[in-house]
Structure 1
Amino acid sequence: MEPKEASFWSFYACLQLAKHGLNVVLISRTLEKLQAIADEIEWTTGSHVKIIQADFTKEDIYDDIKEKLEGLEIGILVNNVGMLPSLLPSHFLNTPGEIQSLIHCNITSVVKMTQLVLKHMESRGKGLILNISSGTALCPWPLYALYSASKAFVCTFSKALHVEYRAKGIIIQVLTPYAVSTPMTKYLNTNMVTKTADEFVKESLKYVMIGAETCGCLAHEILVINDFF
């Protein structure tokens, strides 16, 4: 299993933020991809990009990340790294790969990165944390049990933190998108519901101020309404 969600969010979200004049820190495990993304963002926007190599399937990476973030004022944190055992539905006992790696990547990464950054946001009295969950978090998804449950944790954790810290000037929002055409979803054909990564990121950033939870785009919000009513 390999972290896949980072690839589309790291580029498109950071590109949009850099276009607004923000400098960016990218964290992922593949140095060559990080450097390529950083070069394109810097060339396109003129913003500075710092890269940190780290494998979020591991547990012992956060002291190094903390050291490399020292002295930086992080105003926006996007917790987007994630992995899907298989795009094809399968029973839990047939889940390929290491279960612990998925837990570290989908759950531990959100908790630890939030812990590293949130305390500095609290001391400044401002900040924004965007946690990328999934539409599969909104109800149990048999045959995607582990992935669905890991994303449900992200959703519940985020909404609880939003209540704890909103009075301190910090916005914590969780996104629960459905289908987006990315490497993780094997580049699904796009349509009115299945968005390109660029389309989804641009639309989702418009909803940052609306509350603790959003699907990130209108088409996916309509899917939720149809599922629950």
Structure 2
Amino acid sequence: MAAIDSFEFLLKEILQVFSTGRDAFAILGAVYTASKAISISRCILTALNDHFLSRLRRQSDLKTKFGRWAVVTGSSEGIGKAYAQELASHGVNIILISRGERRLFKTAKEIEEQFHVETCCIAADFSKGMEIYAKVMKAIGDKEVGILVNNVGVMYDYPQLFLDVPAERLWQLIHINVAAATMMTHGLLPQMVQRKRGAVVMVSSGACSQITPQMTIYAATKSFLDYFARSLHYEYKSKGVLVQSLMPFYVATRMTQYSETLSCTNFFIPTASGYARSAVSTLGVSSRTSGFFPHTIMSWIANLVPEGMWMWGSSRLNEALRAQALHRLKQQSAGRLAQSASDQALDIIDSGTSTPS
């Protein structure tokens, strides 16, 4: 009987321990669920504020809030051109900086005629390195620059493995994507701090949301811009300068023309002007944003997917995009050969008909 009583006592103690353990796990589960619910709610509220409420509110005068002039690098086409046009629509004068002089002056003329603002053009090749910045700052002179948009950037011709990227392109990625934003900010931030108002926009990329194979160096340079913007915002927000990390995913521009899929606009792939319109509405509202609501949805997904699964999926996607690019290059090459053969045939016919009998 004593043995049975002892066994019953032991069983009760064991069941009591398991009951206490279940309660503990239940509490942990409730805490985890609550933390996730709060995190998701915060994401939804942030997205609503960035992309919808910011548009419903009366937008402040950007010129009064930040300054009379905006500098936009890489502004002769794509997102840079569209962002410059959107700022001009708010009455901000634009300093356009880009390599292609002809496109640069054409863009400036379009902005002046359409939005009736002043423009200033600076032809600069940021791939040349340190020597270019003194020239750029001299050209900007004493203009009151209230907004700096570090947009200039270069990517691979199409997704590639690291060793397949030419060394020259690797240097371009460093000089243009990293050095340009660093040195332009270093040159123009002091006057913003002195006036206690201004905004710096770093055009990063959704590609750095997680590790993205076959866009390794490009994504790494954009990760630098995101880190740079977030740290700089903390350092200078108390001095009246807002720094924003803008992280778009794919936008239909010349940079994505290597792929037929990425060249077609849809819900997730906007035009440059559509993206810029949305992105400018977040200026002064959010310090880190995709700038475009569908891209915010993509960012949520990217952050929820485990790293290994993301790398596998992005690698498969980039392999498919590379195949599209190579197929398009093959078609273009065949087209050029056919055109050349046609031109030669016409030359033979012309020379034959012009020869006297």
- TM tier, smaller: over 0.9
CA distance change for structure 1 residues 6 and 172 in 2, over 3 Å: closer, same or farther?
A: farther
TM-score after normalising by structure 2: 0.61
Alpha-carbon deviation of 1:4?
7.2
1:119 matched to 2:119? The reply is no
- Equivalent residue runs for 1:150-229 within 5 Å: 150-186=221-257, 188-229=263-304
The answer to whether the 8 Å contact 1:85/1:96 transfers is: no
CA distance change for structure 1 residues 97 and 197 in 2, over 3 Å: closer, same or farther?
A: farther
The answer to whether the 8 Å contact 1:10/1:26 transfers is: no
Range with bigger deviation, 73-82 or 219-228: 219-228
Structure 1 runs (4+) greater than 2 angstroms displaced: 3-6
**What runs of 5+ residues in structure 2 fail to find an aligned partner?**
1-72, 305-357
Alignment correspondent of 1:65: 136
TM-score after normalising by structure 1: 0.95
**What runs of 5+ residues in structure 1 fail to find an aligned partner?**
none
Q: Distance in 2 between matches of 1:65 and 1:4?
A: 13
CA distance change for structure 1 residues 182 and 198 in 2, over 3 Å: closer, same or farther?
A: same
Q: Distance in 2 between matches of 1:40 and 1:54?
A: 20
Q: 2:156 aligns with which of 85, 93, 101?
A: 85
Alignment correspondent of 2:173: 102
Q: Distance in 1 between matches of 2:302 and 2:81?
A: 31
Alpha-carbon deviation of 1:10?
3.0
Q: Distance in 1 between matches of 2:227 and 2:97?
A: 24
Q: What is the SS of the residue equivalent to 1:36? A: helix
What count of residue pairs does the alignment treat as equivalent? 226
Q: Distance in 2 between matches of 1:10 and 1:86?
A: 19
The answer to whether the 8 Å contact 2:210/2:303 transfers is: no
CA distance change for structure 1 residues 95 and 5 in 2, over 3 Å: closer, same or farther?
A: farther
- Equivalent residue runs for 1:16-31 within 5 Å: 16-31=86-101
1:11 matched to 2:86? The reply is no
The answer to whether the 8 Å contact 1:5/1:83 transfers is: no
Identity %: 33
Q: 1:50 aligns with which of 106, 120, 128?
A: 120
CA distance change for structure 1 residues 4 and 15 in 2, over 3 Å: closer, same or farther?
A: closer
The answer to whether the 8 Å contact 1:4/1:83 transfers is: no
Alignment correspondent of 2:106: 36
Q: Distance in 2 between matches of 1:173 and 1:140?
A: 22
Q: Which has the higher contact order (CA 8 A, sep 6+)?
A: 1
Q: What is the SS of the residue equivalent to 2:145? A: coil
Q: Which has the higher helix share?
A: 2
Q: Which amino acid aligns with 1:56?
A: F
Alpha-carbon deviation of 1:7?
1.7
Q: What is the SS of the residue equivalent to 2:97? A: strand
Alpha-carbon deviation of 1:18?
1.2
Q: Which amino acid aligns with 2:254?
A: P
Residue deviations 1:95-116 (CA, integer Å, cap 9, x gap): 1351112100000000000001
